[in-house]
Structures are given as structure tokens and as C-alpha cells.
Amino acid sequence: MDAEQDWAALATMLSFTNAQVAADHRSWGRRAGSLIGLLLVFTTVADAQGLHVATADPTSKGVWRIPDSPQRLPDSSELHRILQIPAAPRLTGEGANASVEKPVWHFSVIAGISQVTSNYYGGFSAAKTLIQNQFVTINSRFNTPGAFDGVLQFTVDSIYEFTGDPLVQIFQAHPLHDYRVVYDGFPSQGGGWYGPPTNTIHHSWPVTWFGGTFGSYATDGIVHEFGHARGAIDLYALQVDAGKNPVNGAPYNAETSIMNYPYGVTIWDQHSVGLINLNADQVYSNSAYVTGAFPTSINILVRSGSGAHLPGTSVKLYPADWYSGGVTGTPSLVMSTDENGAVHLAPNPFGPIDPPEPWCGRPWCIMYPNFLVAAEYGGYSAYGWMPLNQVQNVHLAKGDSGYTLSLVLLVPCGCPQQGDINGDGVIDVFDVIEVIGVAFSGSPDIQNPACPKTRADVDNNGVTDVFDVIYLIATAFSGGPNPVDPCGP
């Protein structure tokens, strides 16, 4: 029997659909030798008495701490059936980048489903098939867009059925697998991603809700949670509602992404791609990959509408808290721009926590995920958003030259001292001496706020040189024209 016949027989025994076999196994089967066979092992999970587990910190979503006292895991009798399933064949490429050779990032998964849920779907065997089919879609959602540097393959090689409280399953150690998924079709609470050291997804999705536990929306949701498992953050946690912005009433909406609103969405945003690529085939144990993804510098640059520097501009940062949907009315930082109209933010205003351990007390060990930045000068104001993902994208793009948020204040253009280099109200020999110093000796070339050119650039060509010296001599001594006004006539 050749390899493809082996796969056909194997698919029949495991109740795989023909489409699933075609999608995942055919190309592998041509290259494989003969299969040794299928081994079905029914066993129980060993009693793990005395093992410490992590518990949720109710003050912070997705952040976990070690309990003050040990907790016992459930007795093994509660896990009454377990099926060992052979690993799926390994992928080498998919979707848009199928022809591009990429490394395969393998991740093993153990899946548990409550008995009441599997009974609803026709019994354990039928539920097992539904789980495997769902993971075919999960893998496709990661790989079909061709966004990542590797091919992600989540392999469910162990499925079991359990009775009792699904929450007990979440905190069971799974040393032989990278991740655990707990299927809960009759939940008593919401689900989600439980990060290190738990590394479990609670797929809390009612059987009667939007197509049920294995419907398309439920699958969209679990793809989002596996995005967390590989390192992506919640983009919706950065958003701000207009009604919760007491500063200027502007909303902030994160970009379309599986990591924002996943339902019906197949797009991976740049930040999520960057973090997932950063982790590659490693299962992260803390948030260091996030806290270490900031660019070399974080800057704010303020200009007038004509492009002039605006030194002395007041710059205020109003933080948005995780998952709050709003910004505070009190700035966390107030600074003034330097002579170049710039502010260099140090220390890091996002407040990365060191060490970035799972129990650091803030999501992904970052104090704030977004800021509303306000610039104020001469009664004029400008605002901009500075979200975590946009700042870190500079570093994740691997061409890190620092992040700069540019704000434009619609200050009227004004150049009242062009040619009056020393600012004494008259153009004379002293200004000629000054312009010679600028052109030939590196003297400072003063620029008025709200003026796009320096005072010594009297011919308005963007550079101070010998022609400006000649021009100003004519103005001062020969009745030549006044310096060109950069703001126009």
C-alpha cells in the first residue's frame, strides 16, 4: 500500500473529511514513505497531587500570579477518556507565499472538551472530528495570508473528554504540549487566553451562540486567542471612545485586524505580524519580547503649517488605560519643544515594567498602551495619537531610526525679522557682519517661530551663502530690495 492509500485509510479511521485530507495531507503523503500505522491509546492522566498552579489576578486581564499556597489538581478519575492522535503532516508553505520556502514553526496542542459539550455534538468521536476540522481552519488563517516569516502549524495530538468544572482544566500543567485548549459549550463565565505559565485557551462559546462552539464566529475567536498565544496584543484595548475623551472629544480606532475585531476578518496587522515573527518557534515565558520592542528613541516634532519650527510649544501626553476606552483628563507628562520644535521622550512614557514577568500587574507589562498628544502654541492647538503598536512598528520593521510623531499647528506664517539678523529693528552693517558669519563661519542662523526660513536666508532659497551676503549688502547700502518674505507678498 502506497503512502496516499495509507493516508486514506488513516483518514477513515479518524473520521477526517475528504476535503481535510486533501488540504493537509496529500502533498505530504507523496513524499512520505509508508506509515507505520495508527496506535489508539486510551489512558488516564496521572494524578498530579501537590503540583502548584497559577491563578488569575482579578485586577488585570490576562496577567497571572503564583498563588500564596499550593493547590491540588483534580483526581485523575475526572479525566475518564483520552485519545492519542498522530501528528498532522508538516507544511512547507501556503497561500500567497506557497512557493516561498519558509521554516515551519510547530506547536503541540492538547485539547479537552466537556462531556456535556461533546454529547451535544453527537458524542466524543464526532466532537474529536470537529476539533480537528477547526484546527485545519486555524492553521489556514495564520498561513493563507502569507504574512509571517514562517509557517505556523498547531497540531492537536491529544484530545480528551472531561467532566466537572471546565475552569479546573485551565490550570492543569501540560508539560508534553505547548498549549491546552479547553472546549466549553455550556460556560458559566467568559473565556480567553491565559498566558504564561498557564498557556491555555478557554474556548468558552455556547453551543447556541452564533453558530455554536465550532461555528465560523467561534473559530474566528479562537484564531484571535492563538494570536495571543504567539505574542500578539489586543488592539481593541488601545481604542478610545469619543465620549470618554475629555480633552478634545476625538476617538481612536485601531486598524482592522484579527487582533482587533476578529469576526469575519482575515487580516493580520503589522504589529501582530512583527511580534509573532519575533517569537518565531519559541513559546514565550514572559513579556520581554513586548517590553523590548521599543525603538531607539521616541520623539514629538511640532511644525507650523508653513513648516517652521515651533520652539517653546507646550506638549502634553494624556494616557489611555488598557481596555478602558478612554483617556484621562490629566496629563502624565508635560514638556516644551526645543529650538528645533522637538521633544525627546525619556524615560519611555509607555512605562515598560522590569522585570517583565507574568505577574507584573499590567497587560504585557506595559503601563499605558496609548496616548493623546496635545501641542499648544500661541493660542493654537494640535492633537495626535501615539499608540503602542505604531511606536513599536518602527523597531519591529528592523530599520529602527527612532519613532517621531509629527504635529502641525495652523499658526499663521510670520517672518517679521528677515535680514534683521541681530533683531535690533534695522538692517545695517551689523546684520551684514552677522550674515557673513552664518555663511562662512558657522555662526547660528536664527529662525523665528512660525517662519519657515531662517533670518539670514534673505533670498529665500533654503540656504544661507554668498548670495545672501551680496543681497543684504545691497539692501543695507545701495537701496536694494528688502529680503524676500517666505510667507509671500
Residues 11-23 pLDDT 10s: 333 333 333 323 3
Compute the distance between CA of residue 129 and CA of residue 16 in angstroms, rounded to an integer: 6
In sequence order, the 6+-apart residues with CB closer than 8 A to the CB of 66 are: 52, 54, 359
449 prior amide bond cis, ω within 30: no
Looking at residue 58, its pLDDT comes to 29
User: Which residues belong to CATH 3.40.390 in the chain?
Assistant: 39-230
CATH topology of domain 413-489: Type 1 dockerin domain (1.10.1330)
Is residue 306 very low, low, confident or very high in pLDDT (cuts 50, 70, 90)? confident
- Across the range 323-351, mean pLDDT stands at 97
Q: Rounded CA gap, 130 and 467, in Å?
A: 79
Query: Does residue 48 carry a pLDDT above 90?
Result: no
Say what percent of the chain tops pLDDT 70. 80
Give the pLDDT band (50/70/90) at residue 74.
very low
Q: How far apart are CA 112 and CA 131, in angstroms?
A: 10
Burial of 41: CB neighbours in 10 Å, binned 0-12, 13-18, 19+: exposed
CATH 1.10.1330.10 residue ranges for the chain: 413-489
Secondary-structure breakdown of the chain: helix, strand, coil percentages, each rounded to the nearest 5: 25, 20, 55
pLDDT bucket at 100, cuts 50 / 70 / 90: low
CB count, 10 Å around CB of 189?
Answer: 10
pLDDT, tens digit, for every residue of 384-430? 999 999 999 999 998 888 999 999 999 999 999 999 999 999 999 99
State the maximum Cα–Cα separation within the chain, in Å, rounded to a whole number.
Answer: 104
- pLDDT, mean of residues 296-318: 95
Residue 69 has pLDDT above 60, yes or no: no
Domain ranges in the chain with CATH number 2.60.40.1120:
292-409
pLDDT score for 99: 52
| Mean pLDDT of the region 267-277 | 98
Q: Does residue 78 surpass a pLDDT of 90?
A: no
Fold of 39-230: Collagenase (Catalytic Domain) (3.40.390)
CATH of region 292-409 = 2.60.40.1120
Q: What is the mean pLDDT of the chain?
A: 83
Q: How confident is the model over 181-202, as pLDDT tens digits? A: 999 999 999 999 999 999 999 9
Alpha carbons 194 and 131: distance in angstroms, whole number: 20
pLDDT at residue 195, as a whole number: 96
Write the DSSP assignment of 8-32 as a string of letters: HHHHHHHT--HHHHHHHTHHHHHHS
Side chain identity at residue 298, one-letter code: I
Confidence (pLDDT) at 26: 28
Which H or E run includes 218? helix 216-229
